[in-house]
Amino acid sequence: MTIDPYSIIGWLGMIFIILAYFLLSTKRLKSNSVIYNLLNFFGALGILVNTFVTRSWPSVALNGIMMGIAIYAIAKKIKTKPVYKELK
């Protein structure tokens, strides 16, 4: 039995998305963290590659949009200056 490399990429994408959701749900990550958005980005990328090869166009569109949202969130987080509380 041979495993299609595009299936492996799709499975890895699914694992990244499930991991991001698990870490968010267990409050180990915040929804605006760079790591959370990177997991979602690479997860969506993996699924996008797999669904592009299989010509599942609705999934290609969905994951392309998810990648765009993740890029937007990461860029916004990087551009935001940290707020420091005064030391008393």
| CA neighbor of 43 nearest in space, from 26, 23, 21 | 21
Residue 80: the pLDDT is 85
Confidence of residue 82 (pLDDT cuts 50, 70, 90): confident
Gap between the Cα atoms of 62 and 20, Å rounded:
17
| CA neighbor of 51 nearest in space, from 12, 20, 7 | 7
Confidence of residue 87 (pLDDT cuts 50, 70, 90): low
| CA neighbor of 39 nearest in space, from 78, 81, 59, 69 | 69
Task: Over range 7-11, report the average pLDDT.
Answer: 96
Statement: residue 84 has pLDDT above 80:
no
The pTM of the full predicted model, rounded to 2 decimals, is: 0.86
How far is CA 15 from its chain centroid? Answer: 10
Domain boundaries, the chain: 5-78
Cβ atoms < 10 Å from Cβ of 70: 22
Helix, strand or coil for residue 84?
Answer: coil
Q: Which tens digit of pLDDT belongs to each residue from 31-81?
A: 999 999 999 999 999 999 999 999 999 999 999 999 999 999 999 999 987
